[in-house]
Structure 1
């Protein structure tokens, strides 16, 4: 039962939310017009004003996606629609007025650019808001409707624009700039953060010229690699997709405009499965560089200094690859898939990488290699590039409760989210720590939240966490005993130097 309602007057009208557990919540506020009809596959346009009061008590639609990929969360049950460009706001009920406007934390969900929703329960954001921020989470277009580069198929009758999901996120950030003060937030102190594909997205926004001035800091949690393409590579993928959506040889653009989302999802699924046969871990989704909207590969832009020079936290988890041996077997975490991954690689590059895993092809080595390929290599390359021009802080998240170690998962992919969103104080967290370790879990969680909060306030995660540079390569390790290590896993880091994040 909602305790009471609360209203805010924003640029498009009045929105009504509710207050519960010490925070105000507004769910599924539109930030863009529904991207349907003439707006399908086009840049988003700001939401239109509405008369009266818009009731934002419940979540609306999530982006269309394949149900079979949904392992956890509400995506399996939440209604789907192309009318999904909404965001949620959580603000403290009684903010400390002496501190002035609160920092804003803008969260981008993960899901490999093919699934996910801001309504997933773990992304609630209330714990972060109670600690002194205004929390915003956002939906963006996924899969063929937002994260696959199809602009090469554009025609005058059916124009298609590039990097649609990035354009969605930028428009949502403009909404924050124009409206967040109404909710007590500071539009000049916005931290964008995300996990997995969401981490990749926020790191990519560092290289998007149109995003300049819309955020002050970035936190990238386990950014995915192998998910950025050149315009040329994207055009080749688009041609293959055109054959799937328009097999009769008609206008692919017209077919894309009229196809049902489920049909487009099946075409993308076919492409993903083909990719896993040829090159496991490379996906036909994600940002495309070499366009007006994203001119340069993001890591190259960071290294050259043309990216936005704002403070950055970037890191990954100790056992990233383990999740993909049990669920979502889409990454190269076994010998056959790894051999396929390197089949087209320069032999010298392959030897260099394999030398970093001397026990290959043992199962443990395969999992380490797969996790490094998919996530750690992106962390290392982003840190090396961005630290040349802006404050950069690197972490590794090592903690997992005993139950997850016993399950063979350890500190696998996404485990840091349990700490970031204070899950260990929920019923689910109590189950994870039912056999002990609850005190350690909550202590690690407090440490993560304290440092994320300090970073959002000042751009520095606090004492005892030195900035990363190419001399010392300091890495803060979150664990039962937090510590700083210098160039840990150096052999593995050096092995992946020069291994491109871009599919060209």
Structure 2
């Protein structure tokens, strides 16, 4: 390991010593940030410069473990920014398909708690160009991921005219952790460290991105799954007000990937103390003294919660009452989000499908049967993954509807395109994560779990490349103006142009455009479940009234 690090250090010095070739790099000299100068390197696309591993906060180690992010230290001279920083502590998954893109890829340089760094791809030739800024929040069930994942490299988006940013936020029990002593020290709040990391990035960009050619007053977040849920949370979070202007949520929002109330601080503190008691380390000092491996082994991340400071109330209340941050939004999901769940447990039969009705639908069994009729084993097996997909679609539409009521530019989509899959791999259709290669215009990059579509069949395929160019251009246009539409693109209707069961369909073969969404029977079912499980307990008017 020491030999590898020595080689990397020597390579970094060699890169810094290399003369800059004319036309090979846009920002050819070091860039000044508030902490010091950084030197990047040419990206994979001509005219794009990449800066990697820039600290945006102090290392959250020792007494700063579980603290909200602190200001990064300044440095003298020019900092090498040609290598990704360490990813945050998380479980690798080298035997899984697809593997963990943060830990099991050629971009992996190490893993530690000292992981709060960001990466910038910019097409700018000089500071002050005021290009729109796009910031990616990765998914991974709040438990894995990093800004170094190959699929999220930003060269192709940057080449379309944006400053593209990825970063590491703390995951698992390091990024979502509550404790009574943390709450006392935080003025009655603890948890949501990962949201704090995100806000610290947005503030760092407000202060520094102009030096990389970006517009600090035009920052767009985009993310998928857990990253999309965090986007939804940040749109609603009082603690994130004024730190960004737009958000794209791909398959997730403030309730996560379903319909539920947000966890409460007191409940999460109790969970922490119960787990800590089992290892005889209940005090915050004792927990901070433990090796990171022991924390990862004995504690689970708690996800986004009502922490009392960043998120001050259940965000279903915030969105229902129109008090969320006034930012432009794109929200949507994929037609087969739940396809990966078909491999969990035994095959669904009509008997098991019927037996599970009460658990799925509660007192709304009749609505559930109307929305998902099944009279044979084959029909039951086909219906089994659909409630996951459709519940998420309904949640994303609720997000869009809520944001549209604030007067902001708001758009929604349903990704129905089925990419090709390699022989021997599960064909998940338009599954969870399937849209990511298209949004990044990165069809040649390894995929992220679970929708492992074919790299070899998609990269260079005119049909697939055209869709990737289209979707990524929608994303870039939205980041630029708040409107995804532009020359040469199928018209994307605004929320005002859509009927109750219509959406923007994203698909290849010129099928993109306004089209049918989930059925009215499904929409009625999910509204009833939301009213019972979320709205009524929280005192929100039922049915969105």
TM bin (shorter chain): 0.7 to 0.9
**Aligned-pair distance for 1:60?**
1.4
The residue aligned with 1:89 is: 120
Encode CA deviations 1:387-407: one digit per residue, 9 max, x unaligned. Answer: 222332111111133336984
Q: Retained in 1: the 8 A contact 2:248–2:330?
A: yes
Aligned residues: 483
Offset, 1:293: 2.1
Equivalent residue, structure 1, for 2:440: 421
TM-score under structure 2 normalisation? 0.79
Asked if 1:482 corresponds to 2:512, the answer is yes
How far residue 377 of structure 1 moved from its aligned partner, in angstroms, is: 3.5
**1:54 equivalent in alignment to 2:79:** yes
Seen in structure 2, the aligned counterparts of structure 1 residues 380 and 342 have a Cα distance that, compared at 3 Å, is farther
Matches of 2:65 and 2:411 in 1, distance apart? 39
Match of 1:7? 30
| Structure (1 or 2) with the greater strand fraction | 1
Q: Is the 8 A contact 1:208 1:293 kept in 2?
A: yes
| Corresponding residue to 1:355 among 370, 378, 382 | 370
1:190 pairs with 2:215: no
For 1:345 and 1:228, the matched residues in 2 are separated by 13
1:225 aligns to what? 257
Within 5 Å, give how 1:69-108 maps onto structure 2: 71-76=99-104, 78=108, 79-92=110-123, 94=125, 100-108=129-137
Following TM superposition, by how much is the alpha carbon of 1:156 offset from its aligned partner in structure 2, in angstroms?
6.2
Question: 1:402, 1:433 within 8 Å by CA — same for their partners in 2?
Answer: no
Shift of 1:157: 12
Change (3 A) 1:348 1:491: same
* Residue in 2 that maps onto 1:465: 492
Unpaired runs of at least 5, structure 1: 270-283
TM-score where L is the length of structure 1: 0.85
Write the distance in 2 (CA, Å) between the matches of 1:208 and 1:484. Answer: 31
Q: Is contact 1:13-1:54 (8 Å) kept?
A: yes
- CA change 1:83–1:147 in 2 (3 A) is same
- Structure 1 residues 151 and 18, CA gap change in structure 2 (3 angstroms): farther
CA RMSD, 1 decimal:
3.5
Contact 2:150-2:445 within 8 A present in 1 as well: no
Superposition pairs for residues 153-164 of structure 1, below 5 Å? 154=183, 161-164=190-193
- 2: CA distance between counterparts of 1:73 and 1:460? 31
Aligned: 1:181 with 2:210: yes
The corresponding residue for 2:388 is: 370
- Bigger drift between 193-202 and 206-215 goes to 206-215
**Aligned residue among 288, 306, 321 for 1:289:** 306
Give unpaired runs (5+ residues) of structure 2. Answer: 1-10, 21-27, 539-545
Instruction: Indicate whether 1:265 and 2:287 are aligned.
Output: no
Counterparts of 1:54 and 1:247 in 2: how far apart (Å)? 44
Q: Does 1:256 align with 2:287?
A: yes
Distance across 2 between alignment mates of 1:479 and 1:183: 34
**Cα drift, residue 307 of structure 1:** 0.3
In the TM superposition, what are the counterparts of 1:209-358 in structure 2 within 5 Å? 209-223=238-252, 224-226=256-258, 230=262, 232=264, 234-247=265-278, 251-268=282-299, 285-289=302-306, 291-326=308-343, 329=344, 347-358=362-373
Further displaced range: 349-358 or 410-419 = 349-358
**Range that drifts further, 340-349 or 112-121:** 340-349
Deviation at 1:153, TM superposition (A): 6.7
Deviation at 1:432, TM superposition (A): 3.5
Displacement of 1:178 in angstroms is 0.2
Matching of residue 128 in structure 1 with residue 157 in structure 2: yes
Residue equivalent to 2:196: 167
